Amino acid sequence: MESQQSLAPLAREISALPPSLGPVRLVGIDGHAGSGKSTFAGRLAEALGGAPVLHLDDVATHGELFAWPDRLRSQVLEPLAAGRPARWTPYDWVARRFGPEQVLEPAPVLLVEGVGAGRRALRPHLARLLWMETPRAESWGRGRHRDGRELSDFWDGWERAELAHFSDDPSRPFADTLVRQSSTGYEWTSEAGATAGRTASVTEGDGLPRA
């Protein structure tokens, strides 16, 4: 399993950033569906000492795959910007309705992971934007394999929606850090535009990421 210490250099970079949303350093982790965002966010959260993670899958709905910025702003961003706890209602993808209210206290770092975490509506509030540098076809293949044939129709619709979203509102050109995964672990490049910076590596050993 990925050790907590292996992502320590990146965690130190993030912790040293100035707050971007009230007292919070809001960090976006974006990439194609199936690119490994959830797994990476969980490991980075551990390296940050247990930072909370907000999954955008809990904010989106069947009818609003990408039309959720207003809900995120009113339930999460505005309260945290004022230093108050955020109160939000995660969406239940099985029951197709919003679940019980959850409380998210202001924290030094909050990771927001999901497709669209670097969209223009969120970028002004981000301390850093990380992009999972996994090719679209590979990412979608992972996702389809993970979810099985019973969700193939959903994936057909998702792929169309994701293509339309990134065509209108791309995230990668604005990423501060590009994250790649190989057979030996993660590598990341952090610099302005994430195009000319240094590359760091960590080692891991538990296979492909989940989401």
Amino acid 170: pLDDT? 96
- Alpha carbon 182 to its chain's center: 19
Contact 193, 177 (CB under 8 A): no
Beta bridge partners of 28: 112, 129
Would you state the pLDDT for residue 145?
65
Residue ranges in the chain whose pLDDT is less than 50 = 1-5, 193-199, 201-211
- Rounded distance between C-alpha atoms, residue 199 and residue 86, angstroms: 35
In DSSP notation, the chain reads ---GGGGHHHHHHHHTSPPSBTTBEEEEEE-STTSSHHHHHHHHHHHTTS--EEEGGGT--SS-SS--HHHHIIIIIHHHHTTPPEEE--EETTTTEE-S-EEE---SEEEEESTTTTSTTTGGG-SEEEEE---HHHHHHHHHHHH-GGGHHHHHHHHHHHHHHHHHS--GGG-SEEEEEETTEEEEEESGGGSSSEEEE----S-S---
pLDDT score at 33 = 87
Q: What is the pLDDT at residue 118?
A: 97
